[in-house]
Amino acid sequence: MALIAAACTNKEKPENMTNPLLLEFNTPFEVPSFDLISLSDYAPAIREAIAVHANEINEIVNNRKSPDFINTVVAYERSGSLLSRVNSVFDNLNSSLTSDEMQKIAEELSPLLTSHQDEIRMNEKLFERIKAVYSTRESLNLSKEDSMLLENTYIYFVRGGADLSPEKKEKLKKINEELSLLTLKYGQNVLSEINAYKMVVDNKADLAGLPEAVVAEAGEAAKEAGLSDKWVFTVQKPSLIPFLTYLDKRELREKLFKAYINLANNGNEADNKAVIGKIVNLRVEKANLLGYPSHAAFVLERNMAKTPEKVMGFLDELWTKSLPVAKSEATNLQQLIKKEGQSFKLEAWDWWYYSEKLRKAKYDIDEEEMRPYFSLEKVRDGAFDVATKLWGITFVERKDIPVYHEDVQAFEVKDTDGSHLGVLYMDFYPRSSKRSGAWMSEFRAQEVLNGKNIRPIVTTNFNFSKPSGDKPALLSYDEVETLFHEFGHALQGLLSQCSYTSLSGTSVRRDFVELCSQVMENWASEPEVLKSFAKHHQSGEVIPDGLLQKMDDSKYFNQGFVTVEYLSAALLDMNYHMLSNVTDIDVTAFENEALTKAGLIPEIVVRYRSTYFSHIFSGGYSSGYYAYIWAEVLDSDAFEAFSETGDIFNKERALSFRKNILEKGGTADPMELYVSFRGKEPGIEPLLRKRGLL
């Protein structure tokens, strides 16, 4: 294997000559050599890559030629490729295959990476060169994509503190370093709490109401924990949701529910309340330092929404329409409790259980009645088939592509003409080394380099229940939608046709990125699509028309709850990040005040309480959790572009969506891209229709 160019600049580290992270990956499509990488490789590789990147920046700064678009802006864009390459492997595996040792490495490296990035963003000479090019942008005759790169680069430096005084730059560096450690700590605390909690049930009679498959999975979990003749339940969603939905024993539902909503809120070493207070205040300080009234104002300036006021207006409009529906649903559930001869008040841990009972009574449909038709592999193939029908792309499983865990599957993705589009990893099952939730990321982003189209390496992660006994992994319908959702993100990465990594794939505005994921969920619910993959795992029977009709009849059921539960989290996010001054935050009191002010009813708990709201405190969605429903306005309208033709696989619309959105990344203004596809800006009515809120 050859050493990657420029990686051997540090002569004092001969061990790097054999570090697999610094060598070319001698693998199919140059995917990471997972089998050769050890934990001890990460820190030296990242330190070396930082040094290489620093040298690349010095070359740009010390270039004696006058700054121009190529020798400054493009040179900066291309710099740091080794660091991005190494760091992408570390970051992805730290999310999906972490360990105590790996988390310690992350804590060691996080300040170094943050400091390195700050040194670049606050490099006066580098910024002067970029500023010089930006000031002549009108006369440069740049393409639209090049213009976007120039604008984004200039704004990135300004927002990174390049225009600040030396004293303020130093203050910003300290804030950034502390934030990097705090957000890392927050995520580690959540994972620690999730892994630590296990509810052990030793009396099978207490499991009355649970589907047989759920009981079997809990039994398998107990065996893995070394407990015989017992059943183990966790706060992971595949265990939690069926437990809350079907278990008859109310006090056990309450116990598991409270364990979930108190994650990282238990007064122990993993308690996140103090961490949240520090994060929120540091974000306020940073925003003020950069001239913004709040963190939300700072973030949203670069989103489609532009201002906190516009986001709040949008959320309030939806809240006003959905809260009365949720209240009506609560009344119906309370009446059902009374009808059963019970006198207790409906509580949050009762909602799933009684709403499922009511749904079954009204529509004669049971979530577990659907599950046998949704075996994981068939759902996966169904998603692949939708992409094939829309764009002619195909997915070929490759056993010769290295994977980082035995559960991971690897696929080569090919275009209509058989040419290579990219590699797709799919990691389906939960484990203690993997964070919760579902997400898409990349080991390599798409770009065009020296005339060669470098194709992406995309990864999707899920936390679906594993196969149990002789049964394959069976999904709930919500999990079917989750698979289609993350697959949609993957498609935007895989189909990208951009010149620069900072603009390619999912490198788009935060409230635009969910369009490509959420629009795929629309196909998942179409009878034509469902019949292609929803086949009974034992008999092979296609899902019956009668069951499809029941699904359609009940599609608006519980939408008040679903919408309010989500919106309350979006409002909580905005309340934290619209703060304009540093303040002593009592997290519990702040959360309660924000949700009470909004009018959240006590029977519904916010989707993510503050202490485990990872999207905003350790992910990239601070001031941006609203993006999911903002994008739902777009995806509802976008899918109507297909359905209104009478053909959900309309080739003309599919090609337009690919060419104008999937391939374009962040190369143009999001609304401009959307209008290029749709011919008009979206309205909110399709969303309200889809949720039954009109």
What are the residue ranges spanned by the domains of the chain?
14-163, 197-261, 273-365+560-617, 372-553+647-659
* Dist. CA 273–CA 277, nearest whole Å: 6
3-state helix, strand, coil in the chain (%, to 5): 60, 5, 35
CB-side neighbour CA atoms (13 Å) of 661: 27
Tokens of 549: 């009709």
The pLDDT tens digits for 359-402 are: 999 999 988 899 999 999 999 999 999 999 999 999 999 999 99
Query: Choosing from 193, 329, 367, 486, which is the catalytic residue?
Result: 486
User: What spatial distance separates the first Cα and last Cα of the chain, rounded to whole Å?
Assistant: 62
Token pair listed for 266? 């238990």
The span from the CA of 42 to the CA of 29, in Å, is 22
Over 60: is that where the pLDDT of 7 sits? Answer: no
Q: What is the pTM of this model?
A: 0.93
Burial class, 396, CB count within 10 angstroms (exposed 0-12 / middle 13-18 / buried 19+): exposed
Q: Do domains 14-163 and 273-365+560-617 have the same CATH topology?
A: yes
What is the token pair recorded at 49?
A: 């890559």
**pLDDT, tens digit (0-9, with 9 covering 90-100), for 300-336:** 999 999 999 999 999 999 999 999 999 999 999 999 9
Is 681 an active-site residue? Answer: no
Q: Specify which residues 442 forms β-bridges with.
A: 458
Residue-wise pLDDT for 558-575, tens only, equals 999 999 999 999 999 999
The CATH architecture one would assign to domain 14-163 is Orthogonal Bundle (1.10)
Instruction: Please report the DSSP string for 548-570 in residue order.
Output: HHHHHHTTTTTHHHHHHHHHHHH
CATH topology of domain 372-553+647-659: Neurolysin; domain 3 (1.10.1370)
Read off the DSSP letter of residue 542.
Answer: B
Mean pLDDT of 191-204: 96
Out of 3.40.50.2000, 1.10.1370.10, 3.40.640.10, 3.80.30.20, which CATH number does the structure's domain 273-365+560-617 have?
1.10.1370.10
Residue pair 116/53 in contact (Cβ under 8 Å)? The answer is yes
Q: Sorting pLDDT into bands at 50, 70 and 90, what band is 694?
A: confident
Tell me: pLDDT of 198 over 50.
Answer: yes
Confidence category of residue 683, pLDDT binned at 50, 70, 90: confident
pLDDT digits (tens, 9 = 90+) for 639-675: 999 999 999 999 999 999 999 999 999 999 999 999 9
- pLDDT over 80 at 4, yes or no: no
The lowest-confidence range among 16-25, 379-388, 539-548 is 16-25
Checking if the pLDDT of 245 tops 80, the result is yes
